[in-house]
Amino acid sequence: MWRRRLGALLLRSPPSSSSPAASSCQRSRHHLLPTEEPLALNRLARLFTSQAGSDGDGGHSQKPFIAFVLGGPGSGKGTQCTKIASDFGFVHLSAGDLLRHEIASGSEKGELILDIIKQGRIVPSEITVELIRKAMEMSNANKVLIDGFPRCEENRVAFERIVGTEPDIVIFFDCPEDEMVKRLLGRNQGRVDDNIETIKKRLKVFESLNIPVVDYYSSRGKVHKINATGTADEIFEAVRRIFSSLRF
Ligand SMILES: Nc1ncnc2c1ncn2[C@@H]1O[C@H](COP(=O)(O)OP(=O)(O)OP(=O)(O)O)[C@@H](O)[C@H]1O
Ligand SMILES: O=c1ccn([C@@H]2O[C@H](COP(=O)(O)O)[C@@H](O)[C@H]2O)c(=O)[nH]1
Ligand SMILES: [Mg+2]
């Protein structure tokens, strides 16, 4: 059972200050605020070991099929994920939405997340990976889209270490910057980061930290690059061809 393997992995890999996942993407560990200290991985391990016996009551005994969906801010990840979920039966987990949900909960962690999102920076890996891991666990899905994650190499390493698996495929929406800016400024959903100052920072972070993740998975033959210009329906035709050819 892949979850049981995760419990074992967590127990085998206690957090250490030199662990790559123990620091945020942008700053070295000794610059962390107290609230950014790595979340207790022991707590995660306890969570997993206490749930390990739940296999018998409906949990999937196989690792889910995981697709990471990457692309610059405003490239259309969320729009396309909604269509993939509806046509191909995937559960859509948006890392950004999970973080915004945590902000809306009013937790202390939410305050830190809000501050980081306003600056267009990347939330510490342990926070995001824990939210994703819990959402995967609760959805109990066998096909999962993880939208907008991993944002940086450290996110990637933390996910693979904590969840104990790699994505099966990576979808990359390739979109010119001017088109992304136009879409974000027209989105009108009241997001705190959809203003030109933060958008410029998000684009820089995307180029410097997210593209290396795409390159990493490209070198492992996992990336499907899609031209993200044109209408949403035109783009979805290219997406549909990829998902139709997969064997889940
Ligand atoms: N192909 C398209 N052509 C024009 N507008 C689009 C297209 N796809 C999405 N949009 C619009 O662009 C905006 C951004 O799209 P979406 O939220 O899907 O992007 P995203 O990649 O998830 O962005 P973010 O990284 O900020 O979450 C939305 O208002 C959406 O309706
Ligand atoms: O894995 C992630 C995902 C998102 N963030 C932060 O949230 C905002 C918004 O994300 P969207 O995917 O555009 O909804 C992003 O700019 C980051 O600040 C993150 O840190 N880690
Ligand atoms: Mg989105």
Q: What is the pLDDT of residues 98-147, one digit of tens each?
A: 999 999 999 999 999 999 999 999 999 999 999 999 999 999 999 999 99
φ and ψ at residue 91, rounded to 5 degrees: -85, 130
CB 179: neighbour CB atoms within 10 A? 16
Closest atom, ligand 1, to C-alpha of 193: 26
Ligand 1 environment, Cβ below 6 A: 71, 73-79, 96, 148, 183, 187, 231-232, 235
Among protein residues, the one with the nearest Cα to ligand 2's atom 7 is 96
How many angstroms separate the first and last alpha carbons of the chain? Answer: 18
**227 forms bridges with which residues in the sheet?**
174
CB 17: neighbour CB atoms within 10 A? 9
Task: Respond yes or no on whether ipTM tops 0.90.
Answer: yes
Q: How far apart are CA 23 and CA 247, in angstroms?
A: 36
Q: What percent of the chain has pLDDT over 70?
A: 76
Q: Is 196 annotated as a binding residue?
A: no
What single DSSP character describes residue 142? S
pLDDT for the residue 50: 29
Among protein residues, the one with the nearest Cα to ligand 1's atom 3 is 231
pLDDT for the residue 24: 60
Q: Which two tokens stand for residue 204?
A: 């820089």
Q: Which ligand is nearest to the CA of 68?
A: 2
Q: Is residue 130 within 8 Å of residue 137, measured between CB atoms?
A: no
CA distances from 16 to 20, 42, 93, 123, 208 (A): 9, 11, 29, 19, 26
Q: Which ligand is nearest to the CA of 202?
A: 2
Which one, of 54, 22, 58, lies nearest residue 40 by Cα?
22
**pLDDT tens, position by position, 214-224:** 999 999 999 99
Closest atom, ligand 1, to C-alpha of 73: 25
φ and ψ at residue 224, rounded to 5 degrees: -110, 110
Q: Is residue 201 within 8 Å of residue 194, measured between CB atoms?
A: no
Q: Which two tokens stand for residue 132?
A: 């994703």
Q: How far apart are CA 147 and CA 171, in angstroms?
A: 9
pLDDT for the residue 2: 59
Average pLDDT, the chain: 83
Q: Which of 68, 69, 75, 79 to mutate to test the pocket of ligand 1 (most atoms within 8 A of CB)?
A: 79
Q: Is 155 annotated as a binding residue?
A: yes
pLDDT for the residue 248: 84
Q: Is 100 annotated as a binding residue?
A: yes
Ligand 2 environment, Cβ below 6 A: 73, 95-96, 99, 116-117, 120-123, 128, 148-149, 151, 155, 193, 202
Residue 60 has pLDDT above 80, yes or no: no
**pLDDT tens, position by position, 40-50:** 333 333 333 32
